[in-house]
Amino acid sequence: MAAAAATPATAACAAGPSAAAVPPRALAAARRAAVRGAPPAAAVPAAAAAESARRVVVARATEAGQQEALWESQVRDGRVRSVDTRGAGHLMKEGWVLLDVRPPTEVEKVSIDGAVAVPLFVPETRSDLASLLKRASTWGTGGWWLGGTHMNPNPDFMEEVLERVPLDARVIVGCQRGLRSLAACEQLSRAGYGTLAWVNGGFDTAETGDLPTLPDGRDIRFAGIGGVSEMMGWTEVQQQYSKGFMGGSETVFKLVGIFLAVDLLLIGIDYINSVKQGTPFVF
């Protein structure tokens, strides 16, 4: 029978105490390890790498926790103020800078006069497979109804902010719904901006006249709508400005148009199938 490959433990046992001057207790431990089966030498680097990776993860989690605690303390201590849209308008009159971090698509619909617009996120424009899948996923999980698209973090966000907003400026950070502006506010705090405020709830909570909007004082809530819900006129802000059943006759005409478009699409599919099968098409 072929001899089994020697492990470090079995080699030590074979050498004997006189060859390596192994203490009796160490030799006994080696024998026990040999009986149990000591891990191969290749497992030692793998275990070390796993331990190193674990320490990196723990260190990063600890750092993130410390940063979050610091941010919460800044909000709690009043170094970062929470304001509504009306309060943001008043602060602008006092010389505060409003940093609008909404995507360009929303700013193009309704902008704020005097604000500095730097998007925290930008729409996905790449056409590789992974990007297309992300865009399709966003569309399928509500983008078709609300008009949203997959967004990527703006890699030049802080660079653009530092170029356009002085570090000693008093800054209000706002977005459409209040979530991205809070994340942006945290980045500004880390970059050294000492006097900050964020619009709690975002511009979707604005009332007419709270903020100086363009064009012509348009309700800024219109910037946050899109997709089929906007086309049908079924969003809350559209319903507020419309009258009558389903938002008035305009919405009814849109609904009829959609039904006709779907009907034509189905007729086209039937025609293509009939051509493929070589059967007469019946309209």
**Bridge partners of 172?**
98, 197
Sign of the C-alpha dihedral, residues 196, 202, 203, 205? negative
Q: What is the Cα 157 distance to its own chain's centre?
A: 14
Does residue 153 sit in helix, strand or coil? strand
CA–CA separation, 132 and 152 (whole Å) = 13
Q: Cα 136 vs. chain centroid, distance in angstroms? A: 16
Taking alpha carbons only, the member of 123, 122, 120, 146 closest to residue 198 is 120
Catalytic residue among 175, 188, 196, 211: 175
CA angle in degrees (0–180, nearest 5) for 74-80-85: 150
Instruction: Name which of 163, 170, 199 is nearest 184 in CA terms.
Output: 199
Q: How many CB atoms lie within 10 A of CB 259?
A: 10
- Does the annotation count 175 as an active-site position? yes
Q: Please, are residues 193 and 167 in contact by the beta-carbon 8 Å criterion? A: yes
Which residues are annotated as catalytic? 175
